[in-house]
Structure formats: structure tokens, C-alpha cells
Structure 1
Amino acid sequence: MQIQDNDLKLLRIFATIAQCGGFSAAQSVLNISASGISEYMAQLEARLGVRLCERGRGGFRLTDDGASLYEATQRLLGAVETFHMEAGAVRHRLQGVLRFGLIEATLTDLCSPLLPAIRTFGQAAPDVRLDLHIEAPSSMVQHVLDGRLHLAVGPFPTRTPGIAYTSLYREEQGLYCATAHPLSERANQQVPACELSGCRLAARSYLAEQELSLLHMSKAAATVDNVEGRAMLILSGNHIGFLPPHYAKPWVDRGLICRIDPDQYATHLDFDIITRNNAESTRVVQAFREHLLAAAAHSLAASKP
């Protein structure tokens, strides 16, 4: 299939429909009527000779061919965006769309370089549109590998072939329980690991083994790959779990949760910048990476006495 301008238009419409989960949800995003969307989809299916989605009383779903095309479309549109950035670099301009991923629940961390880096980069490159995706670490790795993300920032305890890792900063982690939990009465005292064996741990899915080892536990009662879900289980009073202190602070201040033996159960997450290995970065990606590293260095220097 030779890709023409109209094909790119149809593929962008198709990608939006897939992301929105149906024709109706995509109408407001595309600013196209339902009949118009149907017509565009009919053109794309006729162009390819396959049915891309099922829609009707059973709801909307991509066919196997549609799912495959959606993955290929994401890679193609990513390559087009990268071309725009490289073309801008020829004219010594930073422009295009920068697609990057972040783990959730970092905004309240005053030591994080993310917010200052985004601020200074936006001032230095006002013609670059930021396309920010909040994802789990495993998803970000996959999307950097397949080109859907130019780079990502998060904790990646497992090293994946094909990914380049650059250390960025550390985030403190503490062990918490609800004030309704039996441990809360002794939270500020020394709590031996043997006393935690009967507790139900809400572990991070990508760090479960590390947490179990630290607490001398054999298994977790729940695994959650996001901070909010873990906080919910802790607040229920049924589980203990690790949280970043900056994220836990509002509930600590309200007396809803407390930190358990901070001296013994203090750990951290290492945040890295990840990019695809051996991939030549555009000037836009290089510039954003430099802003991240500069902000991290400034934050580290400011935290030293």
C-alpha cells in the first residue's frame, strides 16, 4: 500500500476512533459527524480490503486486522512526527510533537525535576507540542521500544534489552498503615519484621519481590501497579504498603494513615530516563533530555546542606 496524504488523514481518524473506543466518543474529538466518521471508515476499509471494526448493538470493538492496523498506525504516525521534528532541526527550530511517558503520582514531589524541566523546556521550545502519557513502567518500556514514545521517566527495576537507561533522581518510599490498623499504635516505635508477617501487604507489581524481601514476607496479599490503588488499600485498614511520603502527606496530616518505623522501613525508587537503544535522537528529544538532567542536578544541589 502506497501511503498518500489522504491515507494519513484516514489513519489518523481511525487511530482516534480506536483510542476513544467508538464512533460516538470520537465525534467531539474529531469534530466530525457520526455519518462523516462512518464514511471515512468505509473509505479506509475499502482501501485496505479488510474490516477494521465491529459496531452495533454489541458495542464497538476492533477486529484482529483492526488491532494490527492500529499498532502499525501508531508506529507510522510516530515516525511522521519524528520527521517533522527532524525537518525543523534542519531549519534550526525545535518543533513537532514530543511524546513522552511518566509514572503517575509525581506532581507532589518537590524534589522531582519533572515540573521544572517541563517549564524550562516549554519556554525554550514553544513550538513543540508535548504529548504526555501517564503509564505503568512496563507499558512505557514497550511503547519506547515500538516508537510510540520518544522517551519516558519512571522506575524501571528490570533492565530490558534494546532500552538505554540514564539515572535521573530518587524518590523516597515509606511503609504505611491506616490509623485503624493494629500496627498504628506502635508505628513510631521499632517494629521487627517478624511482627509484619501477619500483615497483608499491598505490593507494587513491578517491585513485589523487593518489598517482600525487605519485609521478610513470602507473599503479598495484593499487587497494584499504581500509587492511588495502593493508597486505597492502605486507607481501608486492611493492608500495609509503601507510599512516597510526599503523596501520603495529606492523609498523614488528617490522621488517617501513619508511617511504620521510619528508620527501619525507609527505601527509595530510582527514576531513569529511558530511550530506545541505538536510536538516533532528534534535537527535540535531546533538548528535553538535557532539561530533565539539568533540573535534576539543580534539585540535588539545592537539597544538600
Structure 2
Amino acid sequence: MQVQDTDLKLLRIFETIVRCGGFAAAQPMLNIGASSISEYMSQLETRLGLRLCERGRAGFRLTDEGAELHAAAQRLLGAVDTFQMEAGTLRNQLSGVLRFGMIEATLTDKYSPLPTAIREFGQMAPDVRLHVQIDTPGSMEQHVLDGRLHLAVGPFPAQIPGLDYLPLYREEQGLYCASTHPLYERASGRVPLSVLSKQRLAARAYLGSQELKLLHMTEAAASVDNVEGRAMLILSGNYVGFLPPHYAQPWVDSGLLARIDPEHYVTHLDFQIITRKGAESARVVQAFSNQLRAAARKVSRTARSSK
């Protein structure tokens, strides 16, 4: 298949539909009606000779071929976006689409440089459109490797070949239990490892072994990739688990959570910027990476001075 301009338009519509989870949810993003979206999808399926998705009363679902094409389309569109950014650079202009990945539940962290960096980058490069993807660390690494993302920010404890890792900032992690958990009443005091090691841990899938070692446990009772899922398990009263204090604070204030022995059970996540190794980064990507690091330094100085 020889890719033409109309194909790129159809693939962008398809990518938006998948990202939004269906035709109806994609309408506001695409600013077109359901009948037009359906017609565009029919055109793409006819062009490819494939059935890409099931749609109807049962809901939206990708076929196996649709899932494979979606991954290929993301790689292609990422390459097109990179080309557009590099072409803009030749005109001494920061423009194009920057595909950026990050993990969830960072907004309430006063040490996170992301809001500051995005604000200042937007003022510096108003012609650049940010495409933000919220994902797990492992998925972001894969998507930077295959070109679906230009760069990503998150904790990446097991560095993999093919990526460059730049330190950005550190996030504190505390151990928590719910008000219905047996440890709640004694959480603020000393809780020995002999007691903790008998509790049920809701671990982070990408850091489970480190948490188990820290708490002298042999296995986790539950494993979850995202912060919200882990908080839900902890709030059930059946588990203990690590959360960022900035995220847990509202539940602590309302009495639903307590931090367990904060003097002894504290750890950190080191956030990094990842880009593909050996790839000549477009000036837009370099500019955003530089803005992230500058914002991290600025936010850190502000936070220290406010103590």
C-alpha cells in the first residue's frame, strides 16, 4: 500500500477513535458527526481490505487486525510528526506535534516540574501541539523505543538497552493503611518489621521485588501498575501499600488513611526523561527536555526555600 495524504488523514481519525474508546467519544475531539466518522472508517477499511473494529450495540472493539494496524499507525504518525518538527527546525521555527508520555497522579506533587515546564514551553513554542499519553513506565519505554512517543517522564527502575535516561526529580513514597486495617491505631508509632512482614501488600508491578525486600516479605498479595488502583486496594482495609504522600494526603486528612511509621518506612521514586538512544532528536524534543530540567531545578529551589 502506497501511503497518500488521504491515508494519513484516515489513520489520524482511526488513532483518535481508538484513543477515545469509540465513535461517540471521538466526536468532540474530531469535531465531526458520528455519520462522518463512520464513513471515514469505512473508507479506511475499504482502502486496506480489512475489518478494523466492531461497532454497534455491543460497543466499540478492535479486531486483531485493527489492533495491529493501530500500533503500526502510531509508529507511522510518530515518524510523520518527527519529520514535521525537523522541517520546522530548518525554518528556525519550533512547530509540529510532540508526543509526550507521563505517568498518572503527579499533579499534586509540589516537586513535579511538569506543570511549570508545560506552561513555559507553551509560551516559548506556541506552534507546537502536545499529544500527552498517560501510561505505565514499561509501556512508555516500549513506545519511545518504537517511535510512538518522542520522550516520556516517569520512574524507570530497570533501564533497558536502546534508551537514554536523564535524571529529573525525586518523589517520596510512604507506607499506608486504611482506618479499618488492624495497624491503623498504631500507625504513627514504631511498627517493627516482624509485624509488617505478616501484612498483605498491594505492590507496584514494576517495583514489587524492591518493596518486598524492604518489608521482608516473600510475595505480594496484590499487584497493580497505577496509583489509583493501589489506593483503592489500600482503602479497602485489606492491604498496606506505598503511595506518594501528596496523593494520599486528602484521605489522611479525612481519617481514612494513616501513614505507617514514617520515620522508618520511606522510599523514593527517581523520575527520569527517556528518549531513544542514538536517534538525532528534533530541536523541539531537545527544547522540551531542556525545559523539563530547567523547571525541575526551579521547582526544587522554590520548594526548599519554602520549608
C-alpha distance in 1, partners of 2:38/2:235? 46
Structure 2 equivalent of residue 160 of structure 1: 160
Residue 56 of structure 1 and its aligned partner are, at CA, apart by 4.6
RMSD: 1.8
Moved more, 284-293 or 232-241: 232-241
Does 1:206 pair with 2:206? yes
Q: Once the two structures are superposed, what CA deviation does each residue of 1:58-109 show, in whole Å capped at 9, x if it has no partner?
A: 5443333322222111111111111111111111111111111111111111
Moved more, 193-202 or 12-21: 12-21
Residue 303 of structure 1 and its aligned partner are, at CA, apart by 4.5
Cα separation, partners in 2 of 1:99 and 1:234, compared to 1, 3 Å? same
Which structure 2 segments of 5+ residues have no match?
A: none
The within-5 A match list for 1:177-256 is 177-256=177-256
Structure 2 equivalent of residue 132 of structure 1: 132
C-alpha distance in 2, partners of 1:95/1:184? 52
Moved more, 134-143 or 4-13: 4-13
Letter aligned with residue 4 of structure 1: Q
Cα separation, partners in 2 of 1:286 and 1:181, compared to 1, 3 Å? same
Which structure 1 segments of 5+ residues have no match?
A: none
Residue 48 of structure 1 and its aligned partner are, at CA, apart by 2.4
Q: Once the two structures are superposed, what CA deviation does each residue of 1:26-77 show, in whole Å capped at 9, x if it has no partner?
A: 3443344444334333332332233333445554433333222221111111
C-alpha distance in 2, partners of 1:292/1:35? 41
Structure 2 equivalent of residue 150 of structure 1: 150
Moved more, 98-107 or 181-190: 181-190
C-alpha distance in 2, partners of 1:224/1:12? 31
C-alpha distance in 2, partners of 1:167/1:35? 47
Residue 132 of structure 1 and its aligned partner are, at CA, apart by 1.2
Does 1:291 pair with 2:291? yes
Secondary structure of 1:106's match?
coil
Structure 1 equivalent of residue 37 of structure 2: 37
Cα separation, partners in 2 of 1:68 and 1:181, compared to 1, 3 Å? closer
Secondary structure of 1:182's match?
coil
C-alpha distance in 1, partners of 2:184/2:24? 49
The within-5 A match list for 1:49-68 is 49-56=49-56, 58-68=58-68
Structure 2 equivalent of residue 176 of structure 1: 176
Q: How many residues align?
A: 305
Structure 1 equivalent of residue 79 of structure 2: 79
Cα separation, partners in 2 of 1:116 and 1:22, compared to 1, 3 Å? closer
Residue 152 of structure 1 and its aligned partner are, at CA, apart by 0.6
Residue 19 of structure 1 and its aligned partner are, at CA, apart by 2.9
Residue 197 of structure 1 and its aligned partner are, at CA, apart by 2.2
TM-score by length of 1: 0.93
The within-5 A match list for 1:263-302 is 263-302=263-302
Structure 2 equivalent of residue 122 of structure 1: 122
Moved more, 269-278 or 23-32: 23-32
Cα separation, partners in 2 of 1:191 and 1:24, compared to 1, 3 Å? closer
C-alpha distance in 2, partners of 1:295/1:57? 47
C-alpha distance in 1, partners of 2:110/2:232? 23
C-alpha distance in 2, partners of 1:160/1:284? 24
Q: Percent identity?
A: 70
Secondary structure of 2:138's match?
helix
C-alpha distance in 2, partners of 1:258/1:235? 10
Secondary structure of 2:183's match?
helix
Structure 1 equivalent of residue 107 of structure 2: 107
Structure 2 equivalent of residue 18 of structure 1: 18
Q: Once the two structures are superposed, what CA deviation does each residue of 1:99-158 show, in whole Å capped at 9, x if it has no partner?
A: 111111111111111111111111111111111111111111111111111111001111
Q: Once the two structures are superposed, what CA deviation does each residue of 1:148-169 show, in whole Å capped at 9, x if it has no partner?
A: 1111100111111211101111
Letter aligned with residue 204 of structure 2: R
C-alpha distance in 2, partners of 1:224/1:270? 19
